[in-house]
Amino acid sequence: MSSVRAAEFAIESVLVVDDDPLSLEFLGEAFRRAGRDVRACARPEDAVRLVAEGARFDLVVTDLKMPGMDGHAVLSRVREIDPLAAVVVVTGYGTLSDAVAATKNGAEDFLAKPFSLEQIDMLLARLDARRRALAPVVEVRPRPPAEEAWRSIGETSPALVHVLEAIDRVTPTKATVLIQGESGVGKELVAHRIHYLGPRRSAPFIRVNCAALAPSLLESELFGHEKGAFTGAVRRREGRFELANRGTLLLDEIGELPLTLQPKLLRVLEEEEFERVGGTTTLRSDVRVLATTNRDLGTEVAAGRFRGDLFYRLNVMPIPIPPLRERVADVAPLVEHFLARYAREARSPLQRVSPEALDLLSRHPWPGNVRELENLVQRLVVLVRDETLRAEHVRPHLAPAAPPATATPPVRMLSDLERETILKTLSETGFNQSEAARKLGLSPRTLYNKIRRYEAEGILPQRRATARVGRIVTSASPPADAEGRG
C-alpha cells in the first residue's frame, strides 16, 4: 500500500448485501445513480467470500437481519479482512438498538428503513467527508485495474484490435484521450486500462460524471471552492483537479458538460491553471485527462452545443469503441466469461452454454451492449438451475426476436428495433424506468434521455415524475438525479 491522502479517493466502489431482493435492487440502483460502482450479493456468505478472495470495496452496505450470517457477522469479518473498507448497516423498524450496537463495533454509519435517494446522497457525503478528515493518518490502497473483461476478451477480439493498439500507443504519454462509444460498450474499462498500465498507475485515478450534477455544483466538483463562495460553502473544498494531481482525471460523458463550464475546462487543459470557485489564487495541477462520450461531439459542435476549440483539445487521441452488434464474434467469449464469473459467485450449477443458446445470443442486437449482455447472464445464473444454458432458457429474455444471422440491418432499422425494444419493455414494466433500465441493461440516465427524445418526437406522451423506493418513472422534467447517477 502507498501512503496518500484519503481525500484523493472518495467512496467509489460499493458492495451491497441484503437477502431482500427489492431492497437489494433499490440500494444498488441508488448507489449507481450516485455515480458509484456497485456489486450486489443476496447471500452474506458470498459477500464475505468476495472480500476474502481479494475484491476491494471502499464501502460495504449490509442488512442486519439476514438468515445464516447476519449483518453483525458480515461487519466483523469485513473489518477483519479489510480494515480500510467502511461498513454501513441497514436496519428495519424496531432494530435501531442493533444498529447502534453495530456502530459501536466498527460500523461507520447506519441507514434506517425506509430511506430515500436523498438519504443515500447524504450518507455518501458524510463518508467522503470523514475520509478527507482522516487523510493525515489513513493509508489508502492504490485502486486495482478494472479491466477483467479486456484481459479475457479484448486481446482475442478481431474487432477490438485497433482499440488495444490505440491504448498501447497512448498509455505511456500524457496526451488527452477521447473514448467514444455507445452506453455499455466499456469506455470506462478503457480509461482504467490506460491509467493502470501507464506511468501514473501509483497516483490517484479520479472520476467525475459530467451528467450527474447541476452546472453550479459541477464547477465546484471540478475546481473546488473557497469558504463562503456560495450558500452552504461552510469550508474550503478541494476540487477533482487538485485531488487528481500527478494522476489521471476521467471526465465521464463529457458531452453533457454545460457550455458555461467549457471555457474553464479548456483553460486548465491548455495552461494547467485554474482557480477555486470564489477564490483568487491561481492553482496548478499536473493531471492526465481522459474523457468519454456516447455523443457525436462533431455534431454537437455543429449544433452549437459544444465548443469547437474544446472538442479539438480533447480529441488529441480519439479511441472509438464499436458496439457489440458489430462484434458478433465477441458474444460467445463474453457469455462464457460472465457465466464463469457469476456462476462461481452464486454457486450455480450452470457450467456451459448450448450452441442453440449461443446462436440466439449472437443474433440479438444488444442495444445496451456489453452491459446488457452481462446483466442478462447474471439474471440467467440466478434463474436457471440446470448445468447447461439452453435456448428455451434464453428466448423469453430476448424481445423482440433477433434478426437472421445473415442479415446486416441498416442503421435506421437498428434504431427502430432499439425503440421498439425500449417501448415494449416500458409497457411490460408499467413504465417503471428503474426496472426497465435494469432489464434493458441501460443506465437510468441513458434510458431517460431516450425517453425524453421519444417524447419530443411525439412517440410517447409526456409524463409526470415520481420517485420512491423501487419505482422511478419519467416526466417532462427529470427527477433531481435522473440525469446521470445511474
Highest mean pLDDT of the ranges 2-16, 149-163, 241-255, 408-422? 241-255
Q: In the listed set 256, 287, 320, which residue is the last one of a domain according to the structure? A: 320
Q: Is residue 485 part of a domain?
A: no
Q: Are 297 and 315 in contact (CB under 8 A)?
A: yes
Q: Are 35 and 250 in contact (CB under 8 A)?
A: no
**Band (139; pLDDT cuts 50, 70, 90):** very low
For range 185-193, the mean pLDDT: 87
209 pLDDT more than 70 = yes
Q: Is residue 329 part of a domain?
A: no
H or E element, residue 90: strand 86-91
Query: 455499455: which residue's cell?
Result: 184
How many domains would you assign to the chain?
A: 4
One domain, residues 272 and 382: no
Tens-place pLDDT, residues 230-275: 877 777 888 889 888 888 999 999 999 999 999 999 999 999 999 9
pLDDT the model gives residue 159: 73
For range 114-142, the mean pLDDT: 67
Q: Are 484 and 478 in contact (CB under 8 A)?
A: no
Structural Rg of the chain based on CA atoms: 22
Listed residue (402, 395, 408, 441) closest to 422, CA to CA: 441
Listed residue (194, 30, 51) closest to 118, CA to CA: 30
For range 131-136, the mean pLDDT: 53
Q: Give the three-state DSSP class for 234.
A: coil
69 pLDDT more than 60 = yes
Grid coordinates standing for 247? 494522476
Q: Are 177 and 290 in contact (CB under 8 A)?
A: yes
One domain, residues 277 and 155: yes
292 pLDDT more than 90 = yes
One domain, residues 316 and 361: no
Grid coordinates standing for 383? 434463474
pLDDT the model gives residue 151: 54
pLDDT the model gives residue 153: 56
Tens-place pLDDT, residues 400-428: 544 434 433 433 344 565 677 788 788 77
Tens-place pLDDT, residues 352-403: 999 999 999 999 999 989 888 988 998 898 888 899 999 999 998 886 544 4
Give the span between the Cα atoms of 67 and 74, in whole angstroms.
12
Tens-place pLDDT, residues 336-355: 888 888 888 778 888 899 99
One domain, residues 62 and 30: yes
Highest mean pLDDT of the ranges 51-60, 152-161, 270-279? 270-279
CATH number of domain containing 426: 1.10.10
Highest mean pLDDT of the ranges 150-164, 172-186, 234-248? 172-186
pLDDT the model gives residue 388: 93
Rounded to 5°, the CA angle 424-429-435 comes to 110
Grid coordinates standing for 169? 500507443
> What's the Cα-to-Cα distance from 385 to each of 46, 279, 348, rounded to whole Å?
18, 60, 7
One domain, residues 308 and 180: yes
Q: Are 455 and 422 in contact (CB under 8 A)?
A: no
One domain, residues 169 and 314: yes
pLDDT the model gives residue 444: 76
One domain, residues 26 and 66: yes
Grid coordinates standing for 23? 431492497
Q: What is the pTM of this model?
A: 0.56
12/373: higher pLDDT? 373
Give Cα 447 distance to the centre of its chain. Answer: 14
Q: Are 266 and 315 in contact (CB under 8 A)?
A: no
One domain, residues 32 and 155: no
Give the span between the Cα atoms of 249 and 236, in whole angstroms.
21
Amino acid at 328: V
One domain, residues 269 and 362: no
- Residue 62: CB atoms within 10 A of its CB come to 27
469/27: higher pLDDT? 27
One domain, residues 232 and 345: no
| Domain membership of residue 453 as a residue range | 411-472
pLDDT the model gives residue 155: 58
Q: Is residue 109 part of a domain?
A: yes
214 pLDDT more than 80 = no
Give the percent of the chain with pLDDT over 70.
Answer: 80
CATH number of domain containing 225: 3.40.50.300
124 pLDDT more than 70 = yes
pLDDT the model gives residue 267: 94
244/306: higher pLDDT? 306
**Band (455; pLDDT cuts 50, 70, 90):** confident
What average pLDDT does the chain have?
Answer: 79
Grid coordinates standing for 370? 456489453
64 pLDDT more than 70 = yes
One domain, residues 18 and 154: no
One domain, residues 312 and 195: yes
Which of 99-108, 171-180, 339-348 shows the lowest mean pLDDT across its residues?
Answer: 99-108
Q: Where are the alpha helices (DSSP H) in 320-432?
A: 328-346, 355-363, 369-383, 391-394, 411-428
